[in-house]
Amino acid sequence: MTGPTGVTPATSAVSVAAPVVFLHGFAQNGACGGPLVDALAADRPVLLPDLPGHGDPPRHPTADLPRAAALVDDTALDAFGPRPVDVVGYSMGGRVALVWATSRPGRVRRMVLVGATAGLATGAERTERRAADEQLARRLEEEGVAAFLDHWLALPLFAGLPDGARFEVERRRNTAAGLAASLRHCGTGTMDPLWEHLGGLCPTLFLAGADDTRFVHLARRMADAVGPGAAAATVPGAGHAAHLERPDEVAALVRAHLTA
Protein backbone atom coordinates (compact mmCIF):
# COMPACT_ATOMS: atom_id res chain seq x y z
CA MET A 1 0.00 0.00 0.00
CA THR A 2 1.35 3.41 -0.92
CA GLY A 3 2.30 5.46 2.13
CA PRO A 4 2.18 9.24 2.55
CA THR A 5 5.54 9.69 0.84
CA GLY A 6 4.41 7.79 -2.25
CA VAL A 7 6.75 4.87 -1.54
CA THR A 8 5.51 1.30 -1.71
CA PRO A 9 7.78 -0.59 0.70
CA ALA A 10 9.32 -3.92 -0.26
CA THR A 11 7.42 -6.85 1.18
CA SER A 12 10.57 -8.91 1.80
CA ALA A 13 12.35 -8.61 5.12
CA VAL A 14 15.62 -7.46 3.57
CA SER A 15 15.96 -5.74 0.20
CA VAL A 16 19.35 -5.43 -1.45
CA ALA A 17 17.97 -4.53 -4.88
CA ALA A 18 18.10 -0.93 -6.08
CA PRO A 19 14.98 1.13 -5.37
CA VAL A 20 12.63 1.67 -8.31
CA VAL A 21 10.98 4.90 -9.41
CA PHE A 22 7.80 4.25 -11.42
CA LEU A 23 6.67 7.13 -13.64
CA HIS A 24 3.07 7.01 -14.86
CA GLY A 25 1.53 8.13 -18.15
CA PHE A 26 -0.55 11.18 -19.01
CA ALA A 27 -3.93 11.47 -17.22
CA GLN A 28 -2.92 8.82 -14.71
CA ASN A 29 -1.14 9.29 -11.37
CA GLY A 30 1.14 7.36 -9.07
CA ALA A 31 -1.69 4.98 -8.11
CA CYS A 32 -2.04 3.59 -11.66
CA GLY A 33 0.92 1.20 -11.86
CA GLY A 34 -1.15 -1.93 -11.41
CA PRO A 35 0.28 -5.43 -10.91
CA LEU A 36 3.67 -4.40 -12.28
CA VAL A 37 4.27 -2.21 -9.24
CA ASP A 38 3.16 -5.03 -6.94
CA ALA A 39 5.67 -7.35 -8.61
CA LEU A 40 8.50 -4.85 -8.26
CA ALA A 41 7.63 -4.14 -4.63
CA ALA A 42 8.10 -7.80 -3.74
CA ASP A 43 11.78 -7.21 -3.05
CA ARG A 44 12.50 -3.49 -3.29
CA PRO A 45 10.93 -0.14 -2.39
CA VAL A 46 9.06 1.58 -5.23
CA LEU A 47 8.56 5.34 -5.44
CA LEU A 48 5.29 6.40 -7.09
CA PRO A 49 5.34 10.17 -7.62
CA ASP A 50 2.58 12.13 -9.29
CA LEU A 51 4.11 13.87 -12.30
CA PRO A 52 3.65 17.63 -12.88
CA GLY A 53 0.07 18.61 -13.59
CA HIS A 54 -1.28 15.44 -11.99
CA GLY A 55 -2.93 14.85 -8.63
CA ASP A 56 -5.29 17.09 -6.70
CA PRO A 57 -4.06 19.70 -6.17
CA PRO A 58 -1.86 19.26 -9.25
CA ARG A 59 1.88 19.17 -8.61
CA HIS A 60 3.97 21.90 -10.26
CA PRO A 61 1.54 22.32 -13.20
CA THR A 62 3.78 24.66 -15.21
CA ALA A 63 6.88 22.45 -15.05
CA ASP A 64 8.34 21.47 -18.41
CA LEU A 65 10.06 18.13 -19.04
CA PRO A 66 13.53 19.16 -17.76
CA ARG A 67 11.93 20.60 -14.62
CA ALA A 68 9.80 17.47 -14.24
CA ALA A 69 12.94 15.31 -14.39
CA ALA A 70 14.64 17.51 -11.79
CA LEU A 71 11.61 17.28 -9.49
CA VAL A 72 11.55 13.49 -9.77
CA ASP A 73 15.27 13.39 -9.02
CA ASP A 74 14.76 15.55 -5.92
CA THR A 75 11.94 13.27 -4.75
CA ALA A 76 14.11 10.18 -5.26
CA LEU A 77 16.98 11.80 -3.35
CA ASP A 78 14.63 12.57 -0.47
CA ALA A 79 13.30 9.00 -0.44
CA PHE A 80 16.47 6.98 -1.04
CA GLY A 81 19.46 9.25 -0.66
CA PRO A 82 22.18 9.53 -3.32
CA ARG A 83 22.25 5.86 -4.35
CA PRO A 84 21.41 5.29 -8.04
CA VAL A 85 17.88 4.08 -8.72
CA ASP A 86 16.18 1.94 -11.33
CA VAL A 87 13.44 3.63 -13.34
CA VAL A 88 10.35 2.29 -15.09
CA GLY A 89 8.54 4.89 -17.20
CA TYR A 90 5.36 4.55 -19.25
CA SER A 91 4.55 6.88 -22.17
CA MET A 92 4.79 10.42 -20.72
CA GLY A 93 6.65 8.93 -17.76
CA GLY A 94 9.07 7.35 -20.21
CA ARG A 95 9.85 10.76 -21.70
CA VAL A 96 10.48 12.19 -18.24
CA ALA A 97 12.72 9.21 -17.49
CA LEU A 98 14.74 9.75 -20.67
CA VAL A 99 15.28 13.42 -19.86
CA TRP A 100 16.31 12.46 -16.32
CA ALA A 101 18.75 9.75 -17.39
CA THR A 102 20.39 11.88 -20.12
CA SER A 103 20.62 15.07 -18.06
CA ARG A 104 21.86 13.56 -14.78
CA PRO A 105 24.26 10.72 -15.66
CA GLY A 106 24.86 8.29 -12.82
CA ARG A 107 21.54 8.84 -11.08
CA VAL A 108 19.71 6.12 -13.06
CA ARG A 109 21.25 2.64 -12.80
CA ARG A 110 18.96 0.69 -15.15
CA MET A 111 15.82 1.71 -16.97
CA VAL A 112 12.73 0.22 -18.64
CA LEU A 113 10.60 2.37 -20.94
CA VAL A 114 7.13 1.27 -22.08
CA GLY A 115 5.54 2.98 -25.09
CA ALA A 116 8.04 5.86 -25.02
CA THR A 117 9.78 8.10 -27.54
CA ALA A 118 12.97 10.14 -27.64
CA GLY A 119 11.07 12.99 -29.30
CA LEU A 120 9.76 14.16 -32.65
CA ALA A 121 12.58 14.74 -35.11
CA THR A 122 11.46 17.88 -36.95
CA GLY A 123 10.21 21.28 -35.91
CA ALA A 124 7.16 20.84 -38.14
CA GLU A 125 6.19 17.63 -36.34
CA ARG A 126 6.60 19.28 -32.95
CA THR A 127 4.52 22.29 -34.00
CA GLU A 128 1.75 20.03 -35.27
CA ARG A 129 1.76 17.99 -32.06
CA ARG A 130 1.66 21.10 -29.85
CA ALA A 131 -1.38 22.31 -31.79
CA ALA A 132 -3.12 18.95 -31.31
CA ASP A 133 -2.31 18.97 -27.59
CA GLU A 134 -3.63 22.53 -27.30
CA GLN A 135 -6.95 21.31 -28.70
CA LEU A 136 -7.00 18.54 -26.09
CA ALA A 137 -6.14 21.03 -23.35
CA ARG A 138 -9.05 23.27 -24.37
CA ARG A 139 -11.35 20.26 -24.47
CA LEU A 140 -10.32 19.43 -20.91
CA GLU A 141 -11.00 22.96 -19.74
CA GLU A 142 -14.39 23.08 -21.48
CA GLU A 143 -15.70 19.59 -20.66
CA GLY A 144 -13.97 18.64 -17.39
CA VAL A 145 -12.02 15.54 -16.45
CA ALA A 146 -14.83 12.96 -16.48
CA ALA A 147 -16.01 13.76 -20.02
CA PHE A 148 -12.45 14.03 -21.27
CA LEU A 149 -11.59 10.59 -19.86
CA ASP A 150 -14.58 9.06 -21.64
CA HIS A 151 -13.09 10.40 -24.89
CA TRP A 152 -9.48 9.55 -23.97
CA LEU A 153 -10.05 5.96 -22.92
CA ALA A 154 -12.16 5.32 -26.02
CA LEU A 155 -9.18 5.98 -28.30
CA PRO A 156 -7.88 2.93 -30.25
CA LEU A 157 -4.61 3.36 -28.33
CA PHE A 158 -6.33 1.96 -25.22
CA ALA A 159 -8.73 -0.52 -26.82
CA GLY A 160 -7.01 -3.47 -25.15
CA LEU A 161 -7.24 -2.19 -21.58
CA PRO A 162 -9.16 -4.60 -19.31
CA ASP A 163 -11.81 -2.98 -17.15
CA GLY A 164 -9.69 -3.39 -14.01
CA ALA A 165 -6.76 -1.60 -15.61
CA ARG A 166 -8.55 1.56 -16.72
CA PHE A 167 -8.11 3.21 -13.29
CA GLU A 168 -11.00 5.57 -13.94
CA VAL A 169 -11.48 6.42 -10.26
CA GLU A 170 -7.78 7.19 -9.82
CA ARG A 171 -7.63 9.21 -13.06
CA ARG A 172 -10.57 11.36 -11.98
CA ARG A 173 -8.55 12.53 -9.00
CA ASN A 174 -6.69 14.74 -11.45
CA THR A 175 -7.96 18.21 -12.32
CA ALA A 176 -8.83 19.69 -15.70
CA ALA A 177 -6.49 22.64 -15.13
CA GLY A 178 -3.63 20.35 -14.14
CA LEU A 179 -3.99 17.98 -17.09
CA ALA A 180 -4.35 20.88 -19.52
CA ALA A 181 -1.13 22.37 -18.11
CA SER A 182 0.60 19.00 -18.50
CA LEU A 183 -0.31 18.88 -22.19
CA ARG A 184 0.97 22.41 -22.73
CA HIS A 185 4.24 22.07 -20.81
CA CYS A 186 5.13 18.36 -20.97
CA GLY A 187 3.44 17.14 -24.14
CA THR A 188 5.42 15.29 -26.80
CA GLY A 189 5.59 18.43 -28.96
CA THR A 190 7.44 20.32 -26.21
CA MET A 191 10.21 17.74 -25.97
CA ASP A 192 13.65 18.57 -27.33
CA PRO A 193 14.63 15.47 -29.35
CA LEU A 194 17.09 13.26 -27.47
CA TRP A 195 18.08 10.92 -30.31
CA GLU A 196 21.62 12.30 -30.49
CA HIS A 197 22.03 11.91 -26.72
CA LEU A 198 21.11 8.23 -26.42
CA GLY A 199 24.56 6.78 -27.05
CA GLY A 200 26.01 5.36 -23.85
CA LEU A 201 22.73 5.60 -21.95
CA CYS A 202 22.42 3.34 -18.89
CA PRO A 203 21.30 -0.25 -19.63
CA THR A 204 17.78 0.22 -20.95
CA LEU A 205 14.98 -2.07 -22.08
CA PHE A 206 12.55 -0.49 -24.55
CA LEU A 207 9.17 -2.23 -24.48
CA ALA A 208 6.14 -1.86 -26.73
CA GLY A 209 2.95 -3.82 -27.21
CA ALA A 210 3.02 -5.77 -30.48
CA ASP A 211 -0.22 -4.09 -31.56
CA ASP A 212 1.27 -0.62 -30.96
CA THR A 213 3.24 -0.67 -34.20
CA ARG A 214 4.48 2.93 -34.09
CA PHE A 215 6.07 2.39 -30.71
CA VAL A 216 7.48 -1.00 -31.69
CA HIS A 217 9.42 0.86 -34.37
CA LEU A 218 10.47 3.58 -31.92
CA ALA A 219 11.61 1.01 -29.35
CA ARG A 220 13.89 -0.65 -31.89
CA ARG A 221 15.25 2.71 -33.10
CA MET A 222 16.04 3.82 -29.56
CA ALA A 223 17.74 0.54 -28.67
CA ASP A 224 19.89 0.81 -31.79
CA ALA A 225 20.78 4.40 -30.91
CA VAL A 226 21.83 3.47 -27.37
CA GLY A 227 23.99 0.59 -28.50
CA PRO A 228 25.45 -2.06 -26.13
CA GLY A 229 23.43 -2.45 -22.97
CA ALA A 230 20.11 -1.69 -24.64
CA ALA A 231 17.44 -4.04 -25.92
CA ALA A 232 13.99 -3.79 -27.47
CA ALA A 233 11.17 -6.25 -26.86
CA THR A 234 7.56 -6.53 -27.98
CA VAL A 235 4.71 -7.83 -25.83
CA PRO A 236 2.33 -10.08 -27.81
CA GLY A 237 -1.34 -9.22 -27.65
CA ALA A 238 -0.80 -5.80 -26.11
CA GLY A 239 -1.25 -2.22 -27.25
CA HIS A 240 0.15 1.03 -25.89
CA ALA A 241 -0.32 0.28 -22.18
CA ALA A 242 1.41 -3.09 -22.39
CA HIS A 243 2.19 -3.23 -18.67
CA LEU A 244 -1.53 -2.97 -17.87
CA GLU A 245 -2.75 -5.23 -20.67
CA ARG A 246 -0.23 -8.03 -20.13
CA PRO A 247 1.08 -7.38 -16.61
CA ASP A 248 2.57 -10.80 -15.92
CA GLU A 249 4.57 -10.90 -19.14
CA VAL A 250 5.80 -7.33 -18.69
CA ALA A 251 6.67 -7.87 -15.03
CA ALA A 252 8.84 -10.85 -15.99
CA LEU A 253 10.68 -8.81 -18.64
CA VAL A 254 11.14 -5.83 -16.32
CA ARG A 255 12.39 -7.88 -13.36
CA ALA A 256 14.80 -9.81 -15.60
CA HIS A 257 16.27 -6.57 -16.95
CA LEU A 258 16.57 -4.85 -13.58
CA THR A 259 18.25 -7.86 -11.96
CA ALA A 260 20.58 -8.68 -14.87
pLDDT in tens, 139-149: 999 999 999 99
Give me the pLDDT at residue 17, please. Answer: 82
Mean pLDDT of 76-80: 97
Give me the pLDDT at residue 16, please. Answer: 63
Bridge partners (DSSP) of residue 125 are none
Helix (H, G, I), strand (E, B) or coil at 105: coil
107 within 8 A of 101, measured Cβ to Cβ: yes
Give me the pLDDT at residue 246, please. Answer: 97
Q: What is the 3-state secondary structure (H, E, C) of 241-255?
A: CHHHHCHHHHHHHHH
Q: How far is 161 from 204, CA to CA, in rounded Å?
A: 25
Q: Taking the mean position of all CA atoms in its chain, how far away is CA 173?
A: 18
pLDDT in tens, 226-255: 999 999 999 999 999 999 999 999 999 999
- Binned at pLDDT 50, 70 and 90, residue 3 comes out as very low
Give me the pLDDT at residue 2, please. Answer: 36
pLDDT in tens, 104-132: 999 999 999 999 999 999 999 999 999 99
pTM of the model: 0.94
- Rounded to the nearest 5°, which phi and psi values hold at 86? -90, 150
CATH topology of domain 7-258: Rossmann fold (3.40.50)
pLDDT in tens, 5-48: 477 765 544 456 899 999 999 999 999 999 999 999 999 999 99
